[in-house]
Amino acid sequence: MTQRWLAERRNEYYYRKAKKLDYRSRAAFKLLQIDERFRIFNDGDRVLDLGAAPGGWLQVAVDLVGPEGKVVGIDLRSIKPVEGATAIIGDIRSTESMRALRKLLGGKADIVISDMAPNISGAYSTDHARSIELCEYCLAAADSMLREGGSLIMKVFQGDLMEGLRRDTEKRFDTVKVHSPDASRKTSSELYIIAEGFLGSDAEEVEDVVEEKKPEFSRKGTFL
């Protein structure tokens, strides 16, 4: 990271605003803006945050669901405690981790959220494919962890595999929309899939939908 890049980041509006409001990342504003537009969160909701480090989305989710809600996150690396949320170290591709999350939630989630991104390789087609794979794991987690009628928010990089992912998502939800919040950098290829009205899953247990794999560590604490 160059000194110029660091200076530009410090001067960037949402970065400075996150610091001022004590959010752990500028990504917090992406989730706030998504909810402002689509009204996904309600008081008392149970929320599962996949790839939750460093905790900015956990902070927002706690505020949006209120004291009667429950917010649980998971990541490959530890997360500094967030008041009102519970976070564990684990892998979303692990049956054991999914069982632990369901126990912490006290049942199925009303909302599953993911701001996960792959470790950037610099080869866009590779990064796009890895982003799609992360979203496929999010869909598998939704099959296991999301209640019927629930919602899913997940980040994806634009590319030629996007349409296939959208079709897979539409098989599971009543409505699927793609959105780019203002807080995303103008140069970013990231988009957010907002899926509402989960149709339910035939899976009886977590192991019916979660594929066991060993995690590959990323500098972002996510996968691949």
For tokens 């192991």, name the residue: 207
d(CA 46, CA 103): 12
Interval 105-116: pLDDT, tens: 999 999 999 999
The domains of the chain, with CATH numbers, are 3-208 (3.40.50.150)
Known catalytic residues are: 155
Q: Which residue has the tokens 């794999």?
A: 213
Asked if residue 75 lies in contact with residue 89, where contact means CB atoms within 8 angstroms, the answer is: yes
Give the N- to C-terminal CA distance of the chain in Å, as an integer.
Answer: 21
Q: Are 40 and 34 in contact (CB under 8 A)?
A: yes
Lowest mean pLDDT among 16-20, 68-72, 204-208: 204-208
Secondary structure element (H or E) that encloses residue 31, with its range? helix 28-38
Give mean pLDDT, residues 79-92.
Answer: 96
- Residue 208 has what pLDDT? 52
Instruction: Answer whether 117's CB lies under 8 Å from 134's CB.
Output: yes
Provide, rounded to the nearest whole percent, the portion of the chain with pLDDT above 70: 81
Q: What is the pLDDT of residues 143-195, one digit of tens each?
A: 999 999 999 999 999 999 999 999 999 999 999 999 999 888 777 789 999 99
**CA–CA separation, 223 and 51 (whole Å):** 8
Smallest CA-to-CA distance from 213 within 136, 111, 156, 154 is with 136
Given this model, what pLDDT does residue 15 score? 65
The reported pLDDT for the residue numbered 222 is 39
Rounded Cα distance between 133 and 154, Å, is: 12
State the pairing for strand pair 190-198/146-157. antiparallel
Report the length, in residues, of the chain. 224
Tokens (6 digits) for 23? 């959010």
Q: 11: which 2 tokens? A: 């001067």
| pLDDT score, position 182 | 87
